[in-house]
Structure 1
């Protein structure tokens, strides 16, 4: 396939039902786009006990530097109630100037546009003076264990090195040109189990209700605020997401209670320093006798999530200015440089090279009737094309 038309590219990708962990034909479609352009395409299936096998794709055009990576994912979230869709989620219908389908904006649209941009660049100017690679996973919407992490490790082990990366996630809140992501907050989750003594509610002196401590713990974790934010990041925020005893009886004091929480943190913290602060708060809360007068501190167990994400901020003028300049030229908008939102696979890529994120408008991602304006596909392709030209020009003169 010619690959120069982003609308055709996206339609073909949407028609692949690549719900995590299924490849669904999406990587094969991308391979068929890239191979005629001269890309050497490799497919890697990654495995780990207790997780589904994941197919991934790595493709490279060129053998010399500078080397620009485009990263993303072809896997999509489940469609939910299919009867609620006004257009079939894997049909890529176009109606009212919109293309409908799961993955339209998150993020098959970004992949479709970048493939079109490089195809047009080659058609008009030939291959760039350097290298371009696609690093595409099928596990971004899943556990993120057998995807980008292992693909990066595999590529690096065979000698691949990158000078910069663009991730095509949907970054714009309202219209194309609103926002570039130049970093991400860190993320860490914890699970606190507080142990008490089970008993009858009519005889509280014979029991010890862990929920009394849980109330104090929840408040201590969230208050006072962890910080007031920094120049590039909003304040660190902790949310208690569940408090559960597993107890269905109203006349039984539970034996234990588990609290789960997540923290999105800024560059005032590392994972280690944040964990130390939260442990300090937990110790103080369990010793607090406000709701348990005369009682010894309750015992608690703490389990951290296995894969916390460190905060990062990209400071690479050539990369950021090439992209922001292209956006401003094509759209007339000056994009905001932001670190808001959740996590993405950029958190893994940042260990290998500078990385920024820019893609489509994300208003309908993960929703019923996920859709993208057809006009935006052409605009994003123009932005990516100009970015390619400017980045290689800037990299060559650096």
Structure 2
């Protein structure tokens, strides 16, 4: 009966290339250009198709219409988190980004509320961004026009905005520990896009035991977790329950409030891994987008000239830009949106999981 039922369900999955035992569709995929490989498969099978990444069966949605139908029109059914082997090795279903069910709901609700309390989406965050932009300008002036790699100039600035909320303070740009953290974040982030990173995603049970760059990526994630744990310990020793200084303090206070609840999700593991998520997600994606944006402007100087003209006309040269300027700068805003569209940092996004048997178009997921 169970075999028949499985075959019946399989028959309702979207079409896709025939897999081989264990390796799945590995031979049909270019792990160095996974995105292009999947787009090529979609040309044959349409915008919704099934592919086997090693032994894992994945349904791929390509294009705006299919993604909107799933993630907007059927948001609840598609709200579960799928596997991501590189990060799962550390997170193991804990923290705000890699959890499911009630844990994910509670942590998400708490994180959004607490971030808003500390100014995210309000005037407070704008002032932090303006202050940090000032430090970036000074650092760039200090190069005296020399050729530079902007990677860590941008990531230090972006990271300090979220650091001031999560840790209650910014880092000095020359702080060696800070630079080490940024390198670890960049390294683990970039690994997932490499050929070996994709191979690790398909066959983690085998590749985690082999030497290779995956071991360095896992070590970097471990180093980030240890740094956060150290920060949490410092906060614990100086905590004033009546006066939270940052996100960590707020979580620690909630932990105290729920210490008699045996089913609480507010415990040390979720604190460390949620903080790590906010710190890394608030650093790497934004700084990489900025870096890519500057590259695109260099390749399209006529667009850069128009942005420059609008900035000079609306903001001028004697003050910093502010949120109110946005309404008067339609061209600059359009360019920012186009950079985000054209230079999508994570084209395959974080894997989603359906929370129950779900009918999608004519298929059953």
Interval containing the TM-score (normalised by the shorter chain): under 0.3
Highest CA radius of gyration, 1 or 2? 1
Higher helix share: 2
- TM-score between both structures, scaled by the size of structure 1: 0.24
